[in-house]
Structure 1
Amino acid sequence: MHDTIIDIVAGVFMILGCLMSLAAGIGLLRFPDLLSRMHAATKPQVLGLFLLLSALGLELRSWAVVPVLLLAWIVQLLTAPVSAHMVGRAGYRTRHLKRDTLVADELATVVEEAGRRESRDQGENPPTDRTDFMD
């Protein structure tokens, strides 16, 4: 009886984890801009992975695998927001997002100030012997 309950809980966790991962994949395909796709790639994916790893831990019924599963989830939990942040900033700087969908644009003043500072610095010390591949 006890094993049956654990199997049912593990099955529910597997189904929910797969649905969360499916939602992340559909969001990547269907959302209109970079920021919403980035959100879809990180939020449900981390929860989906947690549910799948929990189901795996329940099904294996061994405490020896718990640290490995926990480590896998913590690494995902730490890397997903950092990578999403980097993709978001790169998308913002390269203008690969829809500005009309932004509710608040707190980064605009920072980017404008950095651009002014960079142009001022280049005016004082023009680059010598430099090749710009980005232009």
Structure 2
Amino acid sequence: MKIRLTSVLVDDQAAALHFYTEVLGFLKKHDVPLGEQDRWLTVVSPEEPGGTELLLEPARHPAARTYRDALAEDGIPLAQFAVDDVAAEYERLSALGVRFTQKPLETGPVTTAVLDDTCGNLIQIASRPR
């Protein structure tokens, strides 16, 4: 069993695509129209273009939006991404105007930070020391 796809809930797929590719640095993998408004829109890590895809899922269902918004309101990240160095990524993204709700924090063997993806989600980035 393998994880091939996971998703984040977004209000605006075009804005999400911009943030996840132009700011975070992911690559667009699939962009398939689904009706008049929605798309099957995925991104992948440039380090693993054949790896797990992140679906930028429209948050149209009321339960999805309620769930996502409740997590964000409570400061709980919807997803976590691995990075080589949280402090360096924090500096890079901060310089691009990304808002963090948690600065880099060492928690035992892991360093984490939490950012606002501008699409309704909090995303945690994490790294382990080498």
Q: Which range, TM-score by smaller chain?
A: under 0.3
TM (norm. structure 1) is 0.26
Which structure has more helix as a fraction of its residues? 1
TM (norm. structure 2) is 0.27
- Structure 1 or 2, whichever has the larger Rg, is 1
